[in-house]
Structure 1
Amino acid sequence: MLDVIILNGGSSSGKTTIAKCLQNSLPTSWLRFSIDDLIDAMPDAMFSADSGIKFDSDGSVSPGAEFRTIESAWMHGIAEMVRRGAKVIIDDVFISGIDAYNRWQVSLEGLQVLWVGVFCDPAVATARENKRGDRVAGMAVSQANVVHVGMNYDIEVDTSDASPEECARIVAQRINQEG
């Protein structure tokens, strides 16, 4: 029985919208958490400290040691909710690639996880980023490919042309196949 769905993709690739569509289409209740939730919960000081997380003017993101500690606690906290009966959809940006996957693997040990790669053409993601206005310019293009390096997904979707609803249907079909 599936416990967790992890959507990994670059900034503005459509992960959050797909997650919301999944919440509305799956037959049971699923909670949704995003790496943005963690970042939004952090104190302002974390954005200026070397040990925190820095969003550089070129769109790159540099997580420090204190951020990694808090991120680990967040990951383990979500895993504990799942162990206590919650179904969870996570939307994340694996800026450290396979290392991020490995950190989730440790947290989610013993749980059934569906790993979903959310791909998007960098030009399409950049146009979305510009329209959003709440991201550092360049994040979409800098993350579009690096988040997928070394990853082996259970299923992949591409939001360049497909709607979030269509991508959610593809993921839901895979969930139904697995029972």
Structure 2
Amino acid sequence: MILLNGASSSGKSSLARSLQQALDTPFLHVSSDQFVEAGMLPPRREPDGPFAWWTQVRPRFFAGFHRCLPALADAGNDLIVEHIIEFPAWRDDLARLLGHLDVFLVGVHCDLDELDRRERARGDRRIGEGRGHVEHDRIHTFGPYDLDIDTTSGVTPALTTTVLDAWRHRTAPRALR
């Protein structure tokens, strides 16, 4: 499993698609955004009660997302997973759930001004969301990575090759363990 962790708009999806194209074997591309885009979430989000997004729905959604990853891998699928590991507890949860798997954890970094520019260009993200993941949530501080990359200049063929070369030459122990 190749697990990409980075802020919103950092290039994780572009990198995942590029990796899929470059790999010699089929890898499934899995992200929580795909579940959201499929209409999985209830349309109602309220501050309190059973539809309370932050305290009720969101924690269960991500707990389920984390649990689907070992299920997919244990069924024999190779995965490229993109995620925003927002809390140390999420990283701990993933380490526990994926501990029996070969997980190559990639830190996807991007200049903050470039994150802001991409969010404005996309039009489907809250401006400052990616910056908040880095500055407020501190997503890159919860532990080491097997590889750190910078996507500020985009996802180039050379960057894809760098990730694949590092993945192909990985050694134990892995960063997520």
TM-score range, shorter chain: 0.7 to 0.9
| Structure 1 CA distance for aligned equivalents of residues 91 and 161 of structure 2 | 24
Q: Cα deviations across residues 64-112 of structure 1 (Å, max 9, x unaligned)?
A: 243222322222122111011000111011222x222112112213011
| Structure 1 CA distance for aligned equivalents of residues 52 and 120 of structure 2 | 22
Residues 125-144 of structure 1 aligned to structure 2 (within 5 Å): 125-144=115-134
Q: Which residue of 1 aligns with 2:174?
A: none
Instruction: Tell me which amino acid in the other structure corresponds to 2:46.
Output: S
Alignment equivalent of 1:149, drawn from 121, 133, 141: 141
- Equivalent pair of 2:15/2:160 in contact (CA under 8 Å): yes
TM-score computed with the length of structure 2 as normaliser? 0.85
Residues 31-46 of structure 1 aligned to structure 2 (within 5 Å): 31-40=28-37, 41-45=40-44
| Structure 1 CA distance for aligned equivalents of residues 51 and 99 of structure 2 | 26
Question: Post-superposition shift, 1:157?
Answer: 0.4
Asked whether 1:89 is paired with 2:80, we answer yes
CA shift in 2, pair 1:152/1:52, >3 Å: farther
- Equivalent pair of 1:11/1:144 in contact (CA under 8 Å): no
- Equivalent pair of 2:32/2:65 in contact (CA under 8 Å): no
Alignment equivalent of 1:24, drawn from 18, 21, 28: 21
CA shift in 2, pair 1:95/1:155, >3 Å: same
| Structure 2 CA distance for aligned equivalents of residues 155 and 52 of structure 1 | 38
CA shift in 2, pair 1:178/1:72, >3 Å: same
Instruction: Tell me which amino acid in the other structure corresponds to 2:20.
Output: Q
Q: Which residue of 1 aligns with 2:69?
A: 78
TM-score computed with the length of structure 1 as normaliser? 0.84
Please, which runs of 5 or more residues in structure 1 have no aligned partner? Answer: 55-62
Question: Post-superposition shift, 1:42?
Answer: 1.0
- Equivalent pair of 2:9/2:130 in contact (CA under 8 Å): yes
Please, which runs of 5 or more residues in structure 2 have no aligned partner? Answer: 172-177
- Equivalent pair of 2:110/2:150 in contact (CA under 8 Å): yes
Alignment equivalent of 1:103, drawn from 87, 90, 93: 93
Aligned length: 166
